[in-house]
C-alpha cells in the first residue's frame, strides 16, 4: 500500500517535502556523523584519514536507504542500522570510528535541527514573498472605500488598503517571531547518553562546539539524552500562529466573496474551472477554504508537541513517534498554505463598485459616530450627543430612511450645526481617518525590512 497520507499525493510542495523525505533524513544524519568524525580528528582522537573516509561515504549514493532498512529489520534500531550501514561502506579501518562516543539522539536531534533550519529558510522566503504581495494590494487599494464591520454588522468606513495593512503588520510580527525562534529551534547536541559527555572524553566541550560550528547550528548547553523539547514547543506554536493568521485572511476572503457582500473574490478561470458538479453557476472560494482546513490540522499538532516536553527522567521514547509526524506535517502544510494565500491575494478580484454600493446601502447609519463627535466639538455633551444619534439611528433603521433625513427632521441638532455641516459629516468619504496613511506606512515597513520597492 502506498500514498496513505494526503501529503504524498495532494498537499505540500516538493521542495519542502524533500527536506523531510527518508533519504534526506539519512543524509542529514550522516552529515552529523561526518561532522563528529571531523571534530574527533581535529582533536587528535581519531586519524584524519578515517574522518575523511567517513565524510566521503556519508552520502545516500553509498549508504542506501534500502540497506539501512534491511539492517533495521534485524537490529530493531534505526540509528544503529545507519551506523552499521556506514561502517560497511568505509574502506580500511575507518568504520571503527563511526559514531564514536555518541548516543542515538546526538545524531537524531542534531539532524532534526539541520532539517528545521532548512525548512525555516523556506518558510521565511514564503513569508517575504507573501508580504510583498500584501504590500502591493495595500498600495493599490489604499483609498478604496469599504464598509468596516464589527460583530458582522456595519461599523464605520475604512479603506480596503487599510484592511490589508493590518495583515501586513501581523505578518511582519510573524517574520520577527520566526527570526527569534530559529536559533533556539535549530539546536543539536553531542553530549552522549544522558548529556554529561562522559563517553566523549576530556575534550567533550570542545568536541561538541566544533561539531556544531561545523554544522552552523547552536547546541543544548545542558542536555539530557535529548535536546530540550521546549524548543520544539516554541517552534510549533509559532508556526501554528502563522497558520492561524492565514486562516483569518482566508476567512475574510470567504466572507467577502459571499454573494450578498460580493466585495472581493478569488480569481476564477471561467473558461475551464468548475465550481460544482451539479450547480453550474458556482464560483467557490476553494483555495481559501482549503487554507482554513489545513490551519486546523497544523494547530492540532500543538497539543502533542506540548505533551512531548514531559519525558521520564533523562528521556523516554514517547516523543519519538509523535515528532516523526509533527515536524514534516507542520512544515509541509504551512509552506503549502503560505503559497496558496499568496496566490489568492495576488489574484484577488476587488469589486470597488460593490464596496461603495454596500457603503451607500447603510443610508448614513455608519456615520452616527462622525456626527456625534462633530456635535461634541460644537459643545454638546458626549452622552447627550450619543443619545441623540442613537435615537435618530434607530428611527432611520426602522423606517428605512437616511440618517441625514432623520436628523434634519427631528431638529435636535438645530443651532448646533448647519445642514451643510450635517451633510459633510454624514459623507463616508470624509470619515476614514488615517486609513490611507496607515496603508502607506505598512507598505513602507515591508520595503524597509525586505529592502525592496513595492
Residues that are catalytic: 151, 276
**142-to-165, 175, 222, 248, 278 alpha-carbon distances in Å:** 9, 23, 51, 20, 39
Q: Are strands 218-219 and 187-188 parallel, antiparallel or unpaired?
A: parallel
Q: Say if CB 420 and CB 365 are below 8 A apart.
A: no
Q: Which three cell numbers stand for residue 295?
A: 490551519
CA distances from 124 to 34, 116, 171, 242, 331 (A): 28, 12, 11, 11, 11
Under a CB-based contact definition with an 8 Å cutoff, are residues 147 and 362 in contact?
Answer: yes
Give backbone dihedrals phi and psi of 142, rounded to 5 degrees, phi first. Answer: -55, -35
Query: Residue 146 pairs with which residues in a beta bridge?
Result: 158
Dihedral angle at the C-alpha atoms of 155, 159, 165, 167, nearest 10 degrees? Answer: 50
* DSSP per-residue letters across 408-436: HHH-TTTTTS-HHHHHHHT-GGG--TTHH
Cα dihedral 98, 101, 106, 107, rounded to 10, equals 0
Between CA 113 and CA 222 the distance in angstroms is 16
Angle at 142 between CA 138 and CA 145, to 5 degrees: 120
Residue among 127, 192, 131, 209 at smallest CA distance from 165: 131
Paired sense of beta strands 349-350 and 264-265, if any: antiparallel
Q: Are 170 and 245 in contact (CB under 8 A)?
A: yes
3-state secondary structure of 193: coil
Q: Quick check: helix, strand or coil at residue 265?
A: strand
Q: Whole-angstrom Cα distance, residue 288 to residue 273?
A: 16
Q: Which of 331, 332, 333, 329 is nearest to 294 (CA)?
A: 333
CA 22 to chain centre: 24
Beta-bridge partner residues of 153: 150
Report how far apart the first and last C-alpha atoms of the chain are (Å, whole number): 48
Amino acid at each position: 500500500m502506498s500514498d496513505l497520507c494526503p501529503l504524498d499525493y495532494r498537499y505540500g510542495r516538493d521542495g519542502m517535502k524533500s527536506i523531510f523525505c527518508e533519504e534526506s533524513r539519512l543524509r542529514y544524519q550522516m552529515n552529523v556523523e561526518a561532522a563528529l568524525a571531523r571534530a574527533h580528528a581535529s582533536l587528535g582522537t581519531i586519524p584524519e584519514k578515517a574522518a575523511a573516509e567517513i565524510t566521503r561515504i556519508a552520502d545516500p549514493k553509498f549508504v542506501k536507504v534500502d540497506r539501512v532498512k534491511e539492517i533495521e529489520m534485524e537490529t530493531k534500531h534505526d540509528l544503529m542500522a545507519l551506523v552499521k550501514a556506514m561502517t560497511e561502506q568505509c574502506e580500511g579501518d575507518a568504520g571503527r570510528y563511526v559514531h564514536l562516543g555518541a548516543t542515538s539522539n546526538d545524531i537524531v536531534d542534531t539532524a532534526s535541527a539541520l532539517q528545521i533550519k532548512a525548512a525555516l529558510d523556506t518558510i521565511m522566503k514564503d513569508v517575504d514573498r507573501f508580504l510583498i504581495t500584501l504590500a502591493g494590494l495595500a498600495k493599490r487599494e489604499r483609498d478604496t472605500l469599504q464598509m468596516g464591520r464589527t460583530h458582522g454588522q456595519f461599523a464605520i468606513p475604512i479603506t480596503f488598503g487599510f484592511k490589508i495593512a493590518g495583515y501586513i503588520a501581523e505578518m511582519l510580527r510573524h517574520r520577527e517571531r520566526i527570526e527569534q525562534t530559529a536559533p533556539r529551534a535549530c539546536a543539536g547536541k553531542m553530549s552522549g547518553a544522558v548529556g554529561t559527555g562522559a563517553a566523549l572524553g576530556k575534550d567533550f566541550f570542545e568536541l561538541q562546539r566544533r561539531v556544531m560550528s561545523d554544522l552552523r547550528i547552536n547546541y543544548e548547553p545542558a542536555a539530557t539524552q535529548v535536546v530540550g523539547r521546549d524548543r520544539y514547543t516554541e517552534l510549533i506554536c509559532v508556526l501554528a500562529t502563522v497558520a492561524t493568521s492565514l486562516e483569518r485572511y482566508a476567512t475574510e476572503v470567504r466572507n467577502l466573496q459571499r454573494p450578498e457582500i460580493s466585495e472581493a473574490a478569488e480569481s476564477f478561470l471561467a473558461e475551464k474551472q468548475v465550481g460544482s458538479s451539479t450547480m453550474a453557476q458556482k464560483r467557490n472560494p476553494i483555495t481559501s477554504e482549503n487554507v482554513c482546513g489545513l490551519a486546523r490540522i497544523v494547530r492540532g499538532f500543538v497539543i502533542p508537541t506540548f505533551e512531548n516536553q514531559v519525558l521520564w527522567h533523562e528521556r523516554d521514547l514517547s516523543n519519538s513517534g509523535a515528532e516523526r509526524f509533527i515536524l514534516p506535517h507542520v512544515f509541509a502544510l504551512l509552506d503549502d498554505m503560505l503559497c496558496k494565500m499568496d496566490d489568492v491575494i495576488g489574484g484577488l478580484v476587488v469589486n470597488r463598485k460593490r464596496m461603495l454600493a454596500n457603503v451607500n446601502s447603510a443610508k448614513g447609519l455608519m456615520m452616527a459616530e462622525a456626527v456625534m463627535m462633530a456635535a461634541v466639538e460644537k459643545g454638546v455633551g458626549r452622552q447627550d450627543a450619543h443619545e441623540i444619534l442613537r435615537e435618530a439611528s434607530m428611527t432611520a433603521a426602522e423606517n428605512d430612511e437616511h440618517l441625514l433625513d432623520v436628523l434634519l427632521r427631528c431638529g435636535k441638532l438645530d443651532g448646533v450645526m448647519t445642514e451643510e455641516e450635517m451633510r459633510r459629516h454624514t459623507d463616508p468619504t470624509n470619515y476614514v481617518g488615517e486609513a490611507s496613511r496607515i496603508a502607506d506606512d505598512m507598505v513602507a515597513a515591508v520595503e524597509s525590512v525586505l529592502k525592496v520597492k513595492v
